[in-house]
Amino acid sequence: MIARRRWLSFAVAALGLITALPLHALKIELPADTSTLKPGAGAELANRQCLTCHSADYVNVQPPGKPLAFWKGEVEKMKKVYGAPIPDEEVEPIAQYLTREYGAAP
Those residues with Cβ within 8 angstroms of residue 2's Cβ, 6 or more apart along the chain or in another chain: none
pTM for this predicted structure: 0.69
Domain 43-102 has CATH 1.10.760.10: yes
Whole-angstrom distance, CA of residue 56 vs CA of residue 49: 11
pLDDT in tens, 52-86: 999 999 999 999 999 999 999 999 999 999 999 99
Instruction: Evaluate if residue 27 carries a pLDDT over 90.
Output: no
